[in-house]
Structure 1
């Protein structure tokens, strides 16, 4: 007697349900059950069941850190769900992709996927999955350094978990929330919350979640200097993560155990642990643990008096953190529209109509934040640079002088970035003060100001300004545009195989001013052209810069209500075409 398709479909769904339940304590069995469900679904040629099986398999592979395989399976599942019209299925697969992205280094795109998921789950009143997504969003906020928003979304996750009547979901948010309280010096609250999480995890037999809770308690014990208890928690968490195949959790434990051993003055064990954390993070693209391990290795080398090695680790930390922070800063800015979208989900129809005002407010808040931070940091940075100058007059040791030179280089770079941010934010806060613009004078003044650049003497300048132009605007904005066009043209000139030139023309056409700046420099491919106005993006890391210049240029043109177009070809040169309304 043949088994009916409906009975077989039921078997597939039962297998998947059992696989999902077992994910908290037996991932190997979860994967086996989901693979069995997929095989049956393919034999039946049941697309809906194939999609569900692929989606669950992708989730399990994401949990154990097989990120590429997980993303590929999730995308295949989404294609099927789109054909079958399964919105919840699409959201489930997108949640998995988001997890794979933010657990490595693509927080911005991960957040985008999470917001899409949240929309769907809210429409369906699916509190179980709302709690999962909100907890993940809190993690991304923490990566961005936004603890206030992280706390808010973790609390929302706890409330969703209560509505779903699921202790695991609630305790999933307890763990990171305890960590934030610990960072804020609220040790008692942190310990109470993490103990509550451990109790919930044991009650629900969530072995994998218990490992993260034990890790959280180990951090509290480290701060309270109960070192033996901390070590026991980290070791137990490591054991579980290793058995469950949880790569991110394992890397976190390696790093924290290394930090613990430094506090215990067990430097050999600390070094061994942190080297393992570094190697493991390199292998699995866990970038945050990678640069943090370098900082602790620098601390160990310094304690041992090995200043050459300390400098090496410190430089690696600076380079990697600079890359992460620049990327994260740019991604925070890119993500503001996404974050606004999440906030709008919580608003009623009346507030929806105020969308434009909310976005503008966020932009103003962001500008205000950068202005305050940049302004407050200028004084200390200037003092540090002055102290470094005095130190170099007194110090004669060559090794020490080399350290001071490296220190000076980083301090100058930070000062340049702060200057750029201040110039950027001044555009938003300065009041209009229009005056008649003498383009020719501004251009030649800007050219003269860059005589110190390496390529300056080799570049030919071709200037063509229509003398009949009558144009009023904010002088500072026009000067900013010209400065950045000229500086980039000089810095990115090709001097080895041609006569480099920068050609600037300013013409008037009916009601517009047209500015064209052309060079025959190194040029860019189309993919690079699309990124050049992003804050902190640098075309060529071998050429010194902050990645702020073209972003500032774009903001200045927007302030002038103008438009800019860029055409470039790699190895041949670049043309900026700017149109300003009169």
Structure 2
């Protein structure tokens, strides 16, 4: 006996499918929410538990790959890249950042690209490649400024300050650190502010501004303890240790350096570990604890060789040379001095070249900044002049409107009283010119009201606007002869200022009717189509009217320009049309052929 299967089980009911898709959608949202939570927690943990940060980001990456979500794959890689850069795994960090950039480029995610470039920059300048690091940082700076992302601006400005300091440009470094502090305040993040306090204290110390250096580093320590930023605290203690060393408070300095080393070791922070060892070695030389100094510095030298921390390498050799000389071991002193000179020459020559490259980048950046400022100032001046001109037109038009209306009324009364045909002819001519002047004033008032009135946005019913506008032009000469072809996408959802959209449609229709071609048996028409294409609304108005030549079409949007003197008009219609479109951040283009017709295309962003 054959088994019969009911059809209702072959095709699941619509309700079942809907529930299934809703379940999938909810499941995806839960997954995305979990990934975001993992990444947020990983970023927060970086200040006191980098191992945890890496573990959480790796979990987020695994979930992102399972769901094939490019955005979260990029974010997870970017976070991992940052954490590996912090602990000094520079090659791995750069590879992960580049992979993240590939994902972000596919999504056209400018912030994501900037986040990954920031990490690459950190890896580059920490291994002495200042110019390439600076190039990436300048790209990041432009993106974060545009996005008004003060959190990341503070990070970038602090890093740029570090590079300036390597260049020996103390003035620019100080300015960058101060800008980072200001951005940190705007972001409402105490840690971002205190991150810049640490190097700024060092600059003050080098200038022998000891009270200032101590005050700012003490403030940083208070903030780091308050926010539980353990990594940041290690750098702040290192900074205070340097101040104590200079003020000969050697015991306090030793405590700070030892605590800094302990934290860096726990956190896996390689650069900070090497820096603290170098300064502790220098302190022990000052305290004449030469054996301890040598042990510390040899350890720092081996560590720096292993982890490519170039600046600490030659500095450690110089201090080891000083110890050997104090112990009168001149052969060993010469060995360390030779290594110091060779490495320093290599670093300084390379550094000099990179400083030159770096300042070439900086000069280009400054030139672009100056050009951008000049363009902004020029745009501001033009905008102010435009507002002044609109204000002038509005006042003049408004003031003239009353007298013109009075003159037209008097003319009407005069025509009732005058019987002489010659006089009536002159009065009719007078009436025509008064009407023309009145129409110009109406146009100017409509134009200037667009600049001063802020109409609230509402959902636009294109069909109603079009048919209302068509009905309002029944008085025009060619109206009865024109066929209107309307095609509107019923699915369009668009919100804007109603008056501006009405102005656009009104002028397109009026223009088509006025310039209709009625000779040679031509059947005039105006075709209007409105469709949504991606994120824009496209309005196309085509007619088979008298058309225009190339010279004419170049000037049609100019105020008071009239394409055809035989047809009555003020020369304001298309100018008003263009201004309304600009107010909606849209664009208009026109194509025309003399004797064949014209097509206007309006594109409005949603």
Same fold (TM over 0.5): yes
Match of 1:173 in 2: 196
Unaligned runs of 5+ in 2: 1-22, 378-606
Tell me how far apart the structure 2 counterparts of residues 161 and 353 of structure 1 sit (CA, whole Å).
Answer: 26
Q: Please name the residue that 2:34 is paired with.
A: 11
1:129 lines up with 2:152 in the alignment = yes
Shift of 1:140: 0.9
Relative to 1, partners in 2 of residues 1:263 and 1:326: Cα closer, same or farther, differing over 3 Å? Answer: same
1:220-239 equivalent positions in 2, closer than 5 A: 220-239=243-262
Is 1:93 paired with 2:116?
A: yes
Distance apart, 1:350 and its partner CA: 5.3
Deviations 1:284-329 (A, max 9, x none): 0000000000110111111111112111111111111111111111
Separation of aligned partners in 2, 1:14 and 1:336:
41
Q: 2:63 aligns with which of 40, 48, 52?
A: 40
For residue 61 of structure 1, what is the aligned residue in structure 2?
84
Residues 197-240 of structure 1: CA deviation (Å, up to 9, x unaligned)? 00111111111000000000000000111111000000100010
Which TM-score applies when normalising by structure 1? 0.59
Q: Distance in 2 between matches of 1:137 and 1:74?
A: 19
Residue by residue over 1:548-582, the C-alpha shift from the partner in whole angstroms, topping out at 9 and shown as x without a partner, is: xxxxxxxxxxxxxxxxxxxxxxxxxxxxxxxxxxx
Q: Is 1:72 equivalent to 2:95 in the alignment?
A: yes
Are the aligned partners of 1:194 and 1:216 in contact in 2 as well (CA < 8 Å)?
yes
- Give CA deviations for 1:168-213 in whole Å, capped at 9, x if unaligned: 0000000000001111111111000100000111111111000000
Pairing 1:117–2:140 present: yes
> Which residue does 2:352 correspond to in 1?
329
Which has the higher Rg, Structure 1 or Structure 2?
2
SS at the partner of 2:188?
A: coil
Match of 1:25 among 40, 48, 52: 48
Q: Deviations over 1:246-271 (max 9, x none)?
A: 00000001100000000000000001
1:115–1:341 Cα contact (<8 Å) kept: no
Aligned pair 1:185/2:208, yes or no?
yes
* Most deviating of 334-343 and 237-246: 334-343
**How far apart in 2 are the matches of 1:233 and 1:346?**
42
Report 1:266-285 matches (<5 A).
266-285=289-308
Instruction: Tell me, in whole angstroms, the C-alpha distance in 1 between the residues paired with 2:372 and 2:85.
Output: 37
Report the equivalent of 2:315.
Answer: 292
1:146 matched residue in structure 2: 169
In the TM superposition, what whole-angstrom CA distance separates every residue of 1:10-30 from its partner, at most 9, and x where no partner exists? 111111111111111111111
SS at match of 2:56: helix
Q: Find the residue that maps to 1:105 and give its secondary structure.
A: coil
Q: Distance in 2 between matches of 1:349 and 1:323?
A: 38
Give, in angstroms, the shift of residue 347 of structure 1.
Answer: 3.7
2 CA distance for matches of 1:344 and 1:6? 46
| Alpha-carbon distance, 1:341 to partner | 3.7
* Counterpart for residue 131 of structure 2: 108
Q: 1:339 — aligned with what?
A: 362
- Contiguous gaps of at least 5 residues in structure 1: 355-582
- Indicate conservation of the 8 Å contact 2:128/2:351, yes or no: no
1:119–1:345 contact (8 Å) kept in structure 2: no
Distance 1:81 1:349 in 2: 27
RMSD: 1.6
Tell whether the 8 Å contact from 1:105 to 1:285 is kept in structure 2 after alignment: no
